[in-house]
Structure 1
Amino acid sequence: MLSARHLLVASLSLLATAAHAQAQFAWVGTYNPNGEGLYRFTVDPTTGDLHDKTLVSSLPNAAQLTVSRDGKTLYAASEAEKGVVQAWRIAADGSLTELNQVSSGGAGPVYLSLTPNGRHLLVANYISGTIAVLPVKDDGSLSEASDTHQDQGPAGAGKPEAAAKGSFAISDHNGPHAHMIAADPEGKYVFSTDLGLDRIYQYQLDDATGKLTPNTPPFIAASSKGAGPRHFVFTPKGDGLWLINEEASTLTHYSLDKTTGTLTEGKTVSSLPKGYQGTNFAAGLVLSQDGKQLYVANRLHNSIAHFTVSADGELIHQDDIWTRGDYPRTLTLDSKGQWLYVMNQRSDNITRFKVAPHSGKLTFEPGYIAIGSPSQMVISPKQ
């Protein structure tokens, strides 16, 4: 017969196991030397706080991340001259087991995304201006690229014509620089941005072979000369996307023809407050799950621009919120849309904001999470 003490120990062990199984983890990629690699945090479901900071990998400049929909596999790109992508299996307690590492298909990988069915990992390589498709095996590990494409063409304008007065947001219009790649919500088409060439590329995806076929036309020009197209988010219905232009600090809407897989440019608005003058580099953006709240990170202005999306798809500027940090690189919304996290690269911290239901209004939650040069955060779904 078990003693009372043994029963107590067994009960506590079961409770600890259950707590681990129910825990939700946030993964943060960083830049060296301030950041030492990839970090894991436990997310408090009530307060949104990030705690139990743990360095789980010293992969250099592990700055770009994505996680599988089932929360069991994590991928990180080492943003190095010779780019690599690492795959890990995530255990219920948040521990990682290395699966494998493959080439990113170019130099300086700056973006990773999985196709909707999780069968392919898409990579944008900034330094080389290439994109790649990496097939995902049944165990979550990666195969070598099934397809790569090299962006080619004349460099974009050296000065962004749509930027704010007095802006010196001039960078890397010296050749191809792929900045993001993602498939549409149905997984039929793939789009990639090239900041250096001021282009948005359009592809058809063959899911069986992992091959990309240039669409007709193969690319469209950015909304203005020297704009520097960066990141984009699809609407919930998959009938369009919002794209942020880094150097122009503008936000452009594109409608998506689901039959042809081609984009049509719509309206463009500034990501900055009316009357702002000077330099700014627009960065990450996130859209709420219902498609009604859009948030944009402005670097140097150090703000989050909050827009609501009207029923007819128009953007309505609501507010500009100080990030409480310096050089916000990316934004992350939790799965329930209750908390928004800001990766403040130059001030070496993460700040978080409470998201009001319905209005989407942001309120700073006092407290800072110290971490060197944060680049991106993803939150893994509960297993």
Structure 2
Amino acid sequence: MSFRTSVLALSTAVAVSTGAFVAPVATAAEFPPAGSVPVAELNVNYPDGALAYVFAEPVMQSDIDLVTRQVRQLRGKAWDANLPFDGATLQQAAAAAGYHTREEYMNAISWDRGLEHAVLQRAAEENLDFNHERLPGVGAFGVIDNLLAGENLTTADMPGAIASWSTDSNQGSSEWEQLVRANGQRNPQNGHFYSIIDPVHVTFAQAQVGKVTAGFFSNRDMPGEPARITGRHAFPIAVPESAVNDAELMTTGGTSVGSQGSLGLSIDGFWGAKLGVPVASPSSSDPEVLKVNEDGTYEAKSEGTVTVTFNTYVVRNGQPQLSDNQVTKIVQVTKKSLAGNLSSGGADAGTIVVIIAGVLALIGVAAQVARQLGILR
């Protein structure tokens, strides 16, 4: 199975409450700003954890009609084949749910506005680690209250997700074929497809954020019509504190004598994703070697080695706040380089600018500094 078609499915038979690990974010909650990139304000619950940002332009609204048509066409195809389903046939299962014709069954499922923010958040969270956990031990279904659904994940893009969950061949056979082989019984090899054609599922929503597309398929309408999110945003996600402690130091101007720029932290996520770590009040152990200002800008003044300390953020009871945890990074200032000043730890310049844009705002940099760096226009 290639990364491009990696898929994961998860279902639950009961609604999972938010519990001790997850709390609803209050309307007054304000996440640290992310420069010129707005922070996504989603009507979701956040688990307790260290705070990171996924910078991405979500794909959802423009493809709603497309994926709705794909889901219904797939259901029509499954009806025509009268696939085995739960020890009987799909048409029998549909009849038991009250659908006696192909058209009734196909059109019984529709897009659900109440699920939109849930799939956006889950797609964003899966850019850290491609599984069905928001954090170790924290499952997917607390993302909104009273969620009862099957969760599908894939690395295919938004238009290709439905096929990746049903008719595309993975490791030699499609989930359609796997369902037939299992005589209609759901198992890990056909779970995505099962969720899509299950007659009890009458609503769904799907979204792509960064590297991952997520879908929820439910037997109920979820309340509310949350605001639509379009354009590039910073999506707040909770990550293990260890991930923040191991974050990579980013600079926009290199670390040779005479270099100037801005400092920030990033996390390596799933399949090459780069997540920004909001920080505050960076400081240098030796300003005569590397001078670091409160706004995150720095100047490499002389050769030597220094320790740079960052304050980080956490989410507690749904509220972002400064953490007691400090992250330290060793910086070696070397002789002036003739090969250019951009230092990224392997990331491309575009990624650096996106992450640093967030870092600069988080530590209160003046707008003119951001403009000098080309981050603000």
TM-score where L is the length of structure 2: 0.22
Structure number with greater Rg is 2
Q: Which structure has more strand as a fraction of its residues?
A: 1
Q: TM-score, normalised by structure 1?
A: 0.22
Structure with more helix by fraction? 2
Bigger relative contact order (CA 8 A; separation at least 6): 2
